[in-house]
Amino acid sequence: MKASKMIIPTLKEAPNEAQIANHILLIRAGMIKKLVAGVYNYLPMGLKVLGKIENIIREEMNLSEAQEILSSALQPKELWEESGRWFKYGPELMRLNDRHNREFCLGPTHEEIFTYLARDLIKSYKQLPVCLYQIQTKYRDELRPRFGLMRGREFIMKDAYSFDIDLAGLDKSYNVMYDTYTRIFNRLNIKFKTVLADTGAIGGSESHQFMALSDIGESTIAYCSSCDYAADEEKCEAISSEKIEKETLQETALIHTPNAKTIEEVVNFLNCDIKKVVKSIVYADDFNSRLVMVLVRGDRDINEIKVVNALDIPEAFLRLASDNEIAKINSVSGFVGPVNAENVMILVDKEVSEMSNFIVGANKKDYHLTNVNFGRDFNGTVKDLRMAKEGDICPVCGKPLSFERGIEVGQIFKLQTKYSEAMDACVLDSQGVKTPLVMGSYGIGVTRTMAAIIEQNHDEFGICWPLNVAPYHAVIVPVNYNDEAQQNLALEIYEKLRNNKVDVVLDDRDAKVGFKFKDWELIGVPYIITVGKKAIEDIVEFKVRKENIKVEKTKEEATNIIIDAVKNL
């Protein structure tokens, strides 16, 4: 391709809307353009990268004998009612009506559609196992679309669904996809960890996430350096390394704590250890129309996923209670506590149940209670409800856990028969008995993966694409395209590379050479060949983008390096 014919809308400055590197670079390099929050257009250079990522995913999925289909984004409400998710999925589901007032959604994921397809297409155990996949646009009305392609409201996902006759079959299919994802992310040059995960709105019995390691990731990974345990922070069991000694129980006392509402204010006012204070947070469970108080130690954070799981409700139905609702449990915001609270379910973090003589809100403005004890002064359901934290130990081997941040680029789930039973997707087994299909579901965020690759592969000048996903493998930059020798050599190299399957651009634009270099460094083309004064001697300057060093090479040397590298992809 000749650059003079291309749309290369690079920008000098970072746009206001973007703060993190991959978002800034995607926009500055002219790869994407925002339409509205969380919705992007993919421009020619961006689409080329996307296509290459998709093809790597496709090759590996096909190698694992998954079959590609393309299903609709528009999904009828009826199927979501069959699975029970029309109501449960909550406000993230993009819902719409047609002219006859029939209700639809734009698919955020496709369990319903693939279960519907399987119940018609698969009749006998003899057809199993089957794995179907697609690469398709998904819609989620995210509460906070942000960071460009990382959290969009419209994004591209590769989703796959496996169908087996029994749980042993599912285990095999799941492992095949686990290995396939490992190959895909390795080929995409992503540094990642695979972690145990919560099953969330998709559901099922077991799940893993593939996390691209990055400080700007929205997920936190807890992992053990002594064994191979690794889990998403939301999933990680919280086990403290601190030994909790049971003290002699003291008598409860009401104490005046004017204006001390937050944990910090209480600690400062009473001049006590934060580990002696218990945080009481009231939530509304809108699924069951009830209020729930959750208790964790003062220095701990509540893990809302664990709360949602303890209540067995969809995540979208949990929210913080309003002041009015807090009044309904006979309490007041800032001074909430479990003793004598009314009309509220109490969930107690395991650690709190083991503590003695702690401080809680007294359900009375400007008062707290001291020397409160679980079992004596109040009761509730005891569960692991807090976030795992630095200082906690590995649930498998007991050694200290470490933490790091990651971008969730993929997740796989053992759905078992959740959807097939609800939607009556059955086959006949070898005895001729009707049995529900045993399913798995497997997603890769394709556009988020593109962002993650940039996040892990960039420098101060721009993107450093790995060769196999770069929009172009190489660019030829003549210093002066009007110079005959330079033009001839540039064209000769261009033709040679093109004839050897190298995706190459010839920058024939009428612009300063410095301007051109800046563009290609920003866009991140892996090889840059500069054709300048030594064109008459067939000598060019050769630069590997990510190393940023220029060396002189003959035209043969330069072209052969690139041709070989592309051949070896």
What residues contact residue 482 under an 8 Å CB cut-off, 6+ apart? Answer: none
Q: By rule CB under 6 A, what string of x and - marks binding of each residue 447-486 to ligand ATP?
A: xx--------------------------------------
Give the integer Cα–Cα distance in Å for 272 and 165.
59
Residue 202 binding result from Mg ion, ligand ATP, none, given CB thresholds of 5 to 8 Å by partner type: ligand ATP
Question: Please, what is the minimum distance in Å from the beta carbon of residue 234 to ligand ATP?
Answer: 9
Contact region with ligand ATP (CB under 6 A), list: 52-60, 77-85, 445-453, 461-469: 445-453
Considering only 436, 445, 462, 466, the residue that binds ligand ATP (CB under 6 A) is 445
In the block, residue with structure tokens 């067939």: 538
Q: Where in 396-415 is the site for Mg ion (CB under 5 A)?
A: 411
Say which entry of ligand ATP, Mg ion, none residue 80 contacts (CB below 5 to 8 A, set by partner kind). Answer: none
What is the smallest separation between the CB atom of 204 and Mg ion, expressed in angstroms? 12
Nearer to ligand ATP, 152 or 526 (CB): 152
CA 429 from chain center: how many Å?
Answer: 37
How many chain residues bind ligand ATP (CB under 6 A)? 17
**Min separation Cβ 146 and ligand ATP, Å:** 9
Of residues 125 through 144, those in contact with ligand ATP by CB under 6 A are 140, 142
Beta strand 474-478 with 504-506 is: parallel
CB of 209: closest distance to Mg ion in angstroms?
Answer: 6
Stretch that binds ligand ATP, among 18-26, 440-448, 470-478, 514-522 (CB under 6 A): 440-448
> Smallest distance, Å, CB 200 to ligand ATP?
6
| Closest distance of CB 341 from Mg ion, Å | 35
What's the burial of 323, exposed, middle or buried (CB within 10 Å: 0-12/13-18/19+)? exposed
Distances (CA, A) of 518 to 462, 491, 540: 9, 22, 18
Min CB(144)–ligand ATP separation in Å: 10
Residue 418 main-chain phi, psi, to 5 deg? -55, -50
Q: Cα(212)–Cα(443) distance, rounded to whole angstroms?
A: 14
CB of 413 to ligand ATP, least distance (A): 8
Stretch that binds ligand ATP, among 112-120, 147-155, 173-181, 307-315 (CB under 6 A): 147-155
Q: Which is nearer to ligand ATP, 140 or 458 (CB)?
A: 140
Residue 424: phi, psi to the nearest 5? 55, 50
Q: Is there binding between residue 155 and ligand ATP (CB under 6 A)?
A: yes
27 versus 197: smaller Cβ distance to Mg ion: 197
- Distance between terminal CA atoms of the chain? 21
Q: Which does 448 bind (CB under 5 to 8 A by kind): Mg ion, ligand ATP, none?
A: ligand ATP
Helix axes 446-456, 44-63, angle to 10 degrees: 110
The item of ligand ATP, Mg ion, none sharing an interface with residue 155, based on CB under 5 to 8 Å by kind, is ligand ATP
Q: Which residue has the tokens 């303890």?
A: 310
Name which of 81, 144, 88 is nearest 315 in CA terms.
88
Residue nearest to ligand ATP (CB): 445
Shortest gap between Cβ of 444 and Mg ion (angstroms)? 10
165-224 residues near ligand ATP, rule: CB under 6 A: 200, 202
| List of residues 6+ apart from 268 with CB closer than 8 A | 260
How far apart CA 397 and CA 237 sit, in angstroms, is: 13
Q: Could you say whether residue 151 binds ligand ATP (CB under 6 A)?
A: yes
- The three-state secondary structure class of 181 is helix
Check residue 109 for interaction with Mg ion (CB under 5 A): no
Helix (H) or strand (E) holding 28: helix 21-28
Q: Which of 30, 46, 152, 466 is in the footprint of ligand ATP by CB under 6 A?
A: 152
Q: What dihedral angle (degrees, nearest 10) is formed by the CA atoms of 141, 147, 149, 153?
A: 10
C-beta of 32 vs 260, nearer to ligand ATP: 32
140 binds, among ligand ATP, Mg ion, none (CB under 5 to 8 A by kind): ligand ATP
Binding partner selected for residue 44 from ligand ATP, Mg ion, none, CB under the kind-specific 5 to 8 Å limit: none
The answer to whether 374 touches 353, Cβ cutoff 8 Å, is yes
Angle formed at CA 64 by CA 60 and CA 67, multiple of 5 degrees: 90
Given candidates 157, 190, 336, 344, which one binds ligand ATP under the rule CB under 6 A? 157
Buried b (16+ CB within 10 A) or exposed e, 158-188: bbbbbbbbeeebbeebbebbeebbebbbebb
Contacts of residue 66, Cβ cutoff 8 Å, sequence gap at least 6: 131, 132, 133, 160, 180
Residues 395-424 binding ligand ATP (CB under 6 A) are 408-411
Size of the site for Mg ion (CB under 5 A): 1
User: Which residues contact ligand ATP by CB under 6 A?
Assistant: 109, 140, 142, 151-152, 155, 157, 200, 202, 408-411, 443, 445, 447-448
User: Which residues contact Mg ion by CB under 5 A?
Assistant: 411
